[in-house]
Amino acid sequence: TDEALELLRVHRQFDEAVKAVQGGETVDPDDVPGPPPPLTPKPPAPQAAQPPQQQQQQQPAAQPAAAKPSASGGGLAGELAARQAAYKQLQTKAQEAGDSGKARRMGRILSQYAEAVAAVRAGGPTAAGYDFSSLPPPPGFGPLPAATPAAAAKPAGSSGASAGAAAAAAATAMGGKAGAQLRVLMQRQQQYKLAAVQAKRTGDMATAKRMLGYARGCEPMLQAAQAGMPVDLAQLPPLPGESAAPAAAAPAPAAAPSAAVICEVSELPKELQGNALKDPEAVYDALEKTLKEKLALAEENARRFKSMGQITTADRWAKLGRSATADLDYLLGQRRLKRPPPKFNFIWQSVSAVRCNPDLGENTLEVKVLNGISLPLPEGFKESDLETQVKIELPISTESPLTQSTGWVKASANPSYDFATRFEVNRKARSTARVFKTRGLKFDVMYRRGFLKKDGLLGSATMKLEELETQCTLHRGIDLMDGRKAVGGRLEVQVRLREPLSGAQTDQVREQWLLIEHTNQELPPSRQASASRAGGSRAGHPQGSVPESSAYVLQYEISLLKPHAGTNSKAAEAVRGLEQRLAQHKQLLANCGEAEKRQYCSVLQQLSATYAQHAKSALQEKDRGKAEKFLKKKKEADREFQDVSSRLR
């Protein structure tokens, strides 16, 4: 405090000297005080003297820590230690002076420095992700060195991580607008690459090459962003289906159309792994089932987001639905022609989805009893003697509760029931919510005691359903009880509603999406010569192939969109695409022989049945407008079938 008072007096003398000079007076330079001595942190207060033996024991323990190379080099670690010592000294002085508030403040700062020291010692992503600029410097200390721990951790002469990992670490360590721009650039480059892969799968090589060029063009901007220079993200070309590049300072949205990564083999459905791929019919069944599920999911989400006013997300789901429809049509066509299953792949799509199960009705509650786990054995029973069944009870009404039973499973204490049943409940009734919250579902595990003996109760389990207020799917393992006593063993069950009781809710999810590779089949050798002589308009359409859609349906879809094409750019683009498909369709049909036209009639019959099924599903969902459109398409497919078949007779 004496030194501070002295410096304050010198400061006032300088103020008087400045006023005198401004007033025209002369000041003797010899009277001006000299500069103050530099402020250096004092070493920490010496601790109480310790016996020599303890000092010798502590010294070897400290040597390994000093010898261990720091994740960031000696510079940053030493600076942190010096600042930590300075704050400890300030905390000690505050405690001695009785300033408890300042002592607590110094303690909070010391805890921040302890976290920073731990991050430096850990190294790797932990050190790279720590924001060292947030540490307040003690009095007399400047800012921390600019070198980041990630840069210091790389030993001289080592190759280090890949360029992508280094850029990711730099983006994590770099804060503010520069870090946000770097993250947007990295994500955008990945999106260009994925768009190129998807375009190549669909046969659009021009788009694939353009997207690949965009990805390579991001490299100079990435280098500039890593150096801390500002970049103009508005110069980034848009992705297919986008109208503009991402915002300059905001990270790319999680639900960008190409924000996808290819799934690993282990993540694929079991029906499409390993030996299952050897059976073509099984592969076709699995692909068709998956595509229909994805199509239903896309249509449901598109409808719901449109009703919620989120048009951009609804368009995104509609686009995914159109992709699934095209893949399904192609898959069915290949199957009808007895060709091998096409190549396929699954990708992870990051999308905004409505939390729902579109395959269920509005008032349907689905209950699945999947497995029994380590069921207890009754006295005198061996596992080979055990035969069990599960009875399900939903007490919506105390007089007549809803009940169902699984089948009997023999000779297993870990039975696989794999049983599903559906109950109709009034989700809007207050009694339903009350039963879900207070009583729930009851499961009784029964076992057969022997010939002419009544079935015995092995244990009961109750599953409360109050979580269905905010969730539409519950998957639980519940313990078996005898009253309040646990008897051992569990049941694995799943309960589903169409949507939570509180209403539709949106969430950011990662969805596996199936992509089918569309390729033109090569002709048999005996027909290659005649196909090559055809030339002209027949090039690009192998002889023997038939159209996989209806020309009359395409004309109907064009008639629906054409009135809006003048004012809506998306409608105009859709009309152009449909007209191009119609022209290719007519050209291909003109090149078909009588046998191929008979196959085309089979295609039209299959399309008619598909449209009828879609119309039925729409009516069940009470979407009358959608049902009418599908019925109209069915009529057009039937009308074309009559016209084509009549010309063959």
> Is the pLDDT at 355 greater than 60, yes or no?
yes
> Is the pLDDT at 444 greater than 50, yes or no?
yes
Alpha carbon 128 to its chain's center = 24
**H-state helical runs in 43-159:** 52-67, 74-97, 100-122, 124-128, 149-152
489 sits in which H/E element: strand 485-497
> What's the order of all strands across the beta sheet hosting 506-516?
260-262, 344-354, 506-516
Beta bridge partners of 419: 369
> Is the pLDDT at 574 greater than 50, yes or no?
yes
306: which residues sit within 8 A by CB, 6+ positions away?
A: 314
CA dihedral sign of residues 584, 589, 592, 596: positive
Least confident range of 29-43, 304-318, 458-472, 592-606: 29-43
Kindly compute the dihedral angle of the four CA atoms of residues 192, 196, 201, 207, in this order, to the nearest 10 degrees. Answer: 120
* Percent of the chain whose predicted confidence (pLDDT) is above 70: 71
**Checking phi first, is residue 159 left (phi over 0); if not, alpha (psi -120 to 50) or beta?**
alpha
> Is the pLDDT at 406 greater than 80, yes or no?
yes
Using CB atoms within 10 A of its CB, is residue 590 exposed (0-12), middle (13-18) or buried (19+)?
exposed
Confidence of residue 578 (pLDDT cuts 50, 70, 90): confident
Question: What is the DSSP secondary structure assignment for residue 263, as one 8-state letter?
Answer: P
Among 510, 506, 514, 507, which residue's Cα sits nearest to residue 259? 510
> Is the pLDDT at 248 greater than 90, yes or no?
no
Least confident range of 148-157, 222-231, 542-551: 148-157
Q: Are 225 and 170 in contact (CB under 8 A)?
A: no
Distance spanning both ends of the chain, measured CA to CA: 113
Q: Are 478 and 442 in contact (CB under 8 A)?
A: no
User: To which residue do tokens 């960008």 refer?
Assistant: 256
Among 354, 358, 437, 362, which residue's Cα sits nearest to residue 395? 437
**pLDDT value, residue 45:** 46
In tens, the pLDDT along 36-55 reads 655 554 544 444 444 444 44
Dig out the tokens for 176 from the structure.
Answer: 């503010």
Amino acid at 447: Y
Dig out the tokens for 111 from the structure.
Answer: 């805890």
> Is the pLDDT at 64 greater than 50, yes or no?
no
Dig out the tokens for 464 from the structure.
Answer: 């409360």
* Average model confidence (pLDDT) across the chain: 75
Q: Are 443 and 493 in contact (CB under 8 A)?
A: yes
Among 189, 195, 147, which residue's Cα sits nearest to residue 168? 189
User: To which residue do tokens 């589903």 refer?
Assistant: 496
User: To which residue do tokens 């006593």 refer?
Assistant: 485
- Helices 163-173/176-201 angle, 10° precision: 140
**pLDDT value, residue 274:** 62
Full DSSP string of 283-337: HHHHHHHHHHHHHHHHHHHHHHHHHTT-HHHHHHHHHHHHHHHHHHHHHHHHHHT
**pLDDT value, residue 450:** 85
19 sits in which H/E element: helix 2-22
Amino acid at 455: D
More confident residue, 296 or 66: 296
Q: Are 556 and 633 in contact (CB under 8 A)?
A: yes
Confidence of residue 251 (pLDDT cuts 50, 70, 90): very low
Please state the length of the chain. 649
506 sits in which H/E element: strand 506-516
Using CB atoms within 10 A of its CB, is residue 360 exposed (0-12), middle (13-18) or buried (19+)?
middle
**pLDDT value, residue 386:** 92
**Checking phi first, is residue 418 left (phi over 0); if not, alpha (psi -120 to 50) or beta?**
left
Q: Cα separations (Å) of 184 from 105, 172, 198, 211, 219? A: 38, 12, 21, 17, 13
How far is the C-alpha of 468 from the C-alpha of 610, rounded, in Å?
Answer: 33
**pLDDT value, residue 156:** 38
Dig out the tokens for 396 from the structure.
Answer: 């919506």
Give the Cβ contact number of residue 84 at 10 Å: 20
Residues 327-350 as b/e (b if ≥16 CB within 10 A, e otherwise) read: bbbbbbbbbebeeebbebebbbbb
Confidence of residue 544 (pLDDT cuts 50, 70, 90): very low
> Is the pLDDT at 540 greater than 70, yes or no?
no
SS3 breakdown of the chain: % helix, strand, coil, rounded to 5?
55, 15, 30
Least confident range of 185-194, 361-370, 437-446: 185-194
Arithmetic mean of pLDDT, 163-187? 61
Dig out the tokens for 3 from the structure.
Answer: 């030194």
Confidence of residue 244 (pLDDT cuts 50, 70, 90): very low
Q: Name the E strands within 144-292.
A: 260-262
User: To which residue do tokens 């804060």 refer?
Assistant: 175
**pLDDT value, residue 303:** 84
